[in-house]
Amino acid sequence: MKKLPVGISSFRKIREQGCAYVDKSRFVHALAEMGTYYFLSRPRRFGKSLFIDTLKTAFEADKNLFRGLWLYANWDWEKRYPVIHISFAEGVLKSREELDRKIFELIEGNQKRLGVECRYKDSVSGCFSDLIQRSSEKYGLRAVILIDEYDKPILDNIITPKIAEEMREGLKNFYSVIKGQDANLRFVFLTGVSKFSKVSLFSGLNNLTDITLDAEYSAICGYTELEMVSVFSERLENKSLEDIRKWYNGYAWLGEKVYNPFSILHYLRAGKFRNYWFETGTPTFLINLLKKNQYYIPDIENIEASETLIGAFDIDFITPENLLFQAGYLTIVHDRRVAGKIFYKLQYPNMEVKASLSDYILNRYSHDPGWPL
């Protein structure tokens, strides 16, 4: 019986250690063939980092790690692209100065790995631009940029608007380089929890394709039921699929429903129904936002929101519906079009989220009876 890849976000480690792996390599091929610039929003611990690492390994042409997977026979392994990998997943940054230092550290790490050196030591945008250009020149191929948790420096400071705005401006300065380096770029993929407006962070990058609500890519992260049953069949023996479905399935982005991978893997390991995903992060800012907006809690189970309400937001305009959806506490049940506008019916995805969030809110309410429950 293969080991479960709980807590592993490295494609290489999963393959080398022989852990059970749900093959998502078809998505790598589809994205590379169809376009250049992509953005994906998914809740925390949903497999975004693992998919980023899968992209990285494919573009670096590490063919042997894909043996037995769909991409093995459907990729040009002769081309080894220079991959610039940026991740803001680690650490909490509390100022623009800390952000700039972090970016320089990430750029320096990529320089060493790719064997290039930037000429601009005092400019974040200059150094990043130089890294892209010099990498492309050295390898004779256009560069690939993969950015994981692109929004974390902002979200970590969202309850302090002034610092969050500083982070936004710092990241905007960093990301603005991408548009100017179009001639040197083969592929760009950014992922995070939230979706900030293009004007806010990606000014000028008008060709960025958002696949968050693209039914074709709804299962790019998470496990479909067919994938789960096929890959983890031995672990599912003598277990109730109906109960597992109620607890951990139900997430949808206008396509096939998927299971939360973090929760289902922990369940298959422990054999007990628990709130695995919810327990890894307390939605303090979400709760404060619900309170600030005097949100009527029972309405959470019966929300119909416009495309605007669940779409991109900015620091000075965040709605409860938007945050509940993007953070994974609500999911799309169905959509309808009225007078040219799209409206989405949102509900809890499963028992884990419904029970956990309800209990958390009730606990907060017991200490603050002024809430509109």
Give, as one character, the DSSP assignment of residue 219: T
Length of the chain counted residue by residue: 373
Q: What is the pLDDT of residue 51?
A: 97
Q: Which residue has the higher pLDDT, 93 or 359?
A: 93
Label residue 203 by pLDDT band (50, 70, 90): low
Task: Write out pLDDT tens, residues 61-70.
Answer: 999 999 999 9
Cα Rg for the chain, rounded, in angstroms?
A: 21
Mean pLDDT of 183-191: 97
Domain positions in the chain are: 11-217, 226-368
Please give the C-alpha separations between residue 29 and each of 54, 75, 78, 230, in angstroms, as whole numbers.
11, 7, 15, 22
Q: Any idea which fold 11-217 has?
A: Rossmann fold (3.40.50)
At 18-30, the pLDDT tens digits run 999 999 999 999 9
pLDDT at 363 over 80: no
Tokens encoding 71 = 């991409």
d(CA 346, CA 355): 16
216-233 confidence digits (pLDDT tens): 999 999 999 999 999 999
Closest by CA position to 42, among listed 52, 34, 32, 33: 52
* Ranges assigned E (strand) in 185-326: 185-192, 209-210, 303-306
Give 285 or 87, the one with higher predicted confidence.
Answer: 87
Q: What is the pTM of this model?
A: 0.93
Q: How confident is the model at residue 200 (pLDDT cuts 50, 70, 90)?
A: low
Sorting pLDDT into bands at 50, 70 and 90, what band is 199? low
